Amino acid sequence: MKKILLIFIVLPLLMFSCSDDDTSEVLTTLNIQLKAKEGFVVEDYSKFQIKLTEIKSGLEYNAKADKSGKISFEVPRGSYKAVAEDLVGGASTMYGSNNKFVLSEIQHSIIINVESIQSQLDKTFVLDELYFNGAKNGEFNSTYYEQYFTIRNISDRILYADGLSVGITADYNMIDTSDEFSEYLSRDTIVLSQIYTIPGNGRTYKIEPNESLVIALSAINHKEGGDKPKSIDLSGADFEIFVDYEYVQTVDNPDVPNLDVNYSVFQAFSWQYSGGSPMVLLRLDDLSDDYINQSKVKLGNPASMGMMKQDFLRIPTSSLIDGVETGTKDSFYDKVLPNFIDKSSIQVEGTGFGGGFDEQFIKRKEIIDNDGNKTVQDTNDSSKDFEIIVGGQKSYPKNK
């Protein structure tokens, strides 16, 4: 009887002891080191914020890195994920993560590699509205310089457009050229005649999700100076393309910033006359004069049927972000963009460069995403992603 009583006394004590051990948390120091991936330079990591999440419980811990990129957390052992980004004003330029690691007595330090946030997103910027076809204000007044395009942020994050470039292909899809351009394309290289870049210090031009930048050939109110019912007002464009040379045909609006002119074979922004030399968006880490000179390749200008040799630029197709194979239905010979950028093409009616002046405005189709937000379609297939709206060109007037 005494033995039985002793067992009943000891058991509750053991149960209490085990329960007490289970609820106690052993805190461990987790050391995180941020490190920029090869090709990126971070001199001061103190803007980086790190969010640490315990995977099972969902508990979150936040801290900031020091200048050298070191962070320490005192947290319970378990499985975690960590995200690091230089978040300022709701927007980041660099990002890194470790989606699962175990913090234990043995493993208590990790390295997180950070790089450009845009290189890690599935979707960033796309060409949205394209107006190159032009219109007629009467018989003798065609709208030669009212062309514009827009660049839209289709991600779910605020992004900076600084350093984003616009390129114009050297090859024309409306001309039967030699195989020299397609040979470059088969080697994961594309040849361009022009490159222009959005300026900024990396945090200058902030674009909200589903918002756009408007870039005009001539950022003025084209309605002024006469009866121009088909003209548009582009005085409120975000940027202007102005190539300053002896025979320039447009006026530089001092109230609208210019894109940086990295290279232009023709000393002019010639895309507006055709659409048959498609446009691409790209990002290159180096657009210095040395890079430009090293990237030049002398090829026959397709507009001269190859008779005139000129210096064009070859760039890796890996630098391409988006592109649209525009052209005219009755003058379309061959695609010049790689299929991973555009599987097909969107063609306006007519023949020759630009198909005339019939107000054929090209824009992406609007859709509703999984979160119920209005956005635009992007399947890298322009025949499905875009539509042509006759007379759909828009004005972007200056805010008063």
Domains of the chain: 29-119 (2.60.40.1120), 123-390 (no CATH)
pLDDT at 305 over 90: no
Closest CA to 105 of 185, 46, 195, 28: 28
Beta-bridged to residue 365, according to DSSP, are: none
Residue 174: pLDDT band (50, 70, 90) is: confident
Which two three-digit tokens encode residue 310? Answer: 């000129």
Residue 2: pLDDT band (50, 70, 90) is: very low
pTM score of the predicted model = 0.88
Q: Which amino acid is at 3?
A: K
- Please provide the average confidence, as pLDDT, over all residues in the chain: 89
Q: Which amino acid is at 341?
A: I
pLDDT tens digits, 232-272: 999 999 999 999 888 888 889 999 999 999 999 988 887 65
pLDDT tens digits, 120-150: 999 999 999 999 888 888 776 777 789 999 9
pLDDT tens digits, 48-72: 999 999 999 999 999 999 999 999 9
The rounded distance, in Å, linking the Cα atoms of 326 and 235 is 25
> Is 317 in contact with 339 (CB distance < 8 Å)?
no
pLDDT at 328 over 60: yes
> Is 377 in contact with 123 (CB distance < 8 Å)?
no
pLDDT at 153 over 60: yes
What number of residues does the chain have?
Answer: 400
Q: Which amino acid is at 143?
A: T
The rounded distance, in Å, linking the Cα atoms of 381 and 396 is 28
Please indicate whether residue 301 or residue 48 has the higher confidence score (pLDDT).
48
What are the start-end ranges of the E strands in 177-218? 189-197, 206-207, 212-216
What does 301-318 look like in DSSP terms, one character per residue? -GGGTT-SEEEEEEEEGG
Please state whether beta strands 27-36 and 70-76 pair in parallel, antiparallel, or not at all (unpaired).
antiparallel
Residue 20: pLDDT band (50, 70, 90) is: very low
- Name the DSSP letter for residue 119: G
Cα dihedral 18→23→29→32 (10° resolution): 120
pLDDT tens digits, 351-384: 665 567 889 999 999 999 888 888 999 999 999 9
